[in-house]
Structures are given as C-alpha cells and as structure tokens.
Amino acid sequence: MPDAPFSIRRETPADAAAVAALNDTVFGPGRFVRAAYRLREGVAPDLALSVVAELGGRVVGSVRMTPIRIGDHPAHLLGPLVVEPAHQNRGGGRSLVAAAVGNARAAGHGLILLVGDEPYYGPLGFRRVSTKDIVMPGPVDPQRLLVAELRAGAAEGLAGVVARAL
C-alpha cells in the first residue's frame, strides 16, 4: 500500500490528551511498569523535538523525546512510538522517528537512546549497545537497547547509569 499522506508536525501542549489516549489504546496500563517509562515519569517531554502524525486534522501517531543522562553524557530517550492500529504499516512510524531524529540533530543534540526492535530502528540510524555498559533503571531485553549517534564522537566512552536529566 502506498504511504498515507500523514502530516508530521511538532507536538504542542494541546496534543497531550490525544497522545495519552493513543498510548492508552495501543499499550494499555502495562506501559507504566516498563524501564523506559521510569525515565519519563514526571519529566515533561521535549516539545521542541517530539512530533505527532495527523490525518484529516486528527492525531493518529506520536513519538516523544525526553531528556535523559547516560552516565555523564546528555541524551534523549525516544519513545513511546505509537501509530493508531487502523493506520499502521503506511510509513507513519518511520516518518515520526525520522522527524524526531532530524529535530534533535538540527538542535545540536548528540545522542538518542531507545528500547525497541533493532530490525525496525536499525535502518533509521540506531544500533545495539551493551546493557553491561549502559544500565537502565529496570530490566531490559539486551537485544533491544539501541542508540543513535547524531554527532561524530558523541557516543565515545558511552557508559553508566541511565537517569533522568537533572
């Protein structure tokens, strides 16, 4: 099927309810116990980098970016990434990730971390990192801890505990 004409734009405060509803529908309450959620809890997403996908003026997709630290390195956590089930497999997810990564790069940020499937995120610039070097605040499948380096050398010496940004 050809890609649907999603309109990708930055998230605004007015999108909060629609984004929450989308995440409720797709992930359910189980999302609140995931390691990545612990990093996001009580921390506002960076709306300069987070984006939504609209169809017909309605929010049908979202990806958030939240500032974190990996040891001494400043970084952003990408996620949750979500597309409304009726509109999946039409390029919306990839467009959202590409836009969020592009926003981070344009803003001069160096690193993005996420917990997700390497076959999906690999072609979008992410690679696996060792859970021995990078310690999440909860259990994570070692195959699913991925980073993207936006500036050459930004991931040099990358190690330590992943924590909320100060």
Output Rg (C-alpha) for the chain, integer angstroms: 15
C-beta closer to ligand COA: residue 45 or 80: 80
- Write out the two tokens for 140: 């994570």
Binding pattern to ligand COA, positions 56-85, x when CB under 6 A? -----------------------xxxxx--
Closest by CA position to 134, among listed 71, 66, 41, 65: 71
d(CA 30, CA 13): 24
Burial of 41 (0-12, 13-18, 19+ CB in 10 A): exposed
Residues numbered 26 to 45 that lie near ligand COA (CB under 6 A) are 26
Q: Which is closer to ligand COA, CB of 85 or CB of 157?
A: 85
Tokens of 97: 């990730």
- Closest-CB residue for ligand COA? 93
Fill in the per-residue mask, 86 to 115: x = in contact with ligand COA (CB under 6 A), - = not in contact. Answer: --xxxxxxx---------------------
For ligand COA (CB under 6 A), the number of binding residues is 17
Q: Give the residues lining the site for ligand COA (CB under 6 A).
A: 26, 79-83, 88-94, 116-117, 119-120
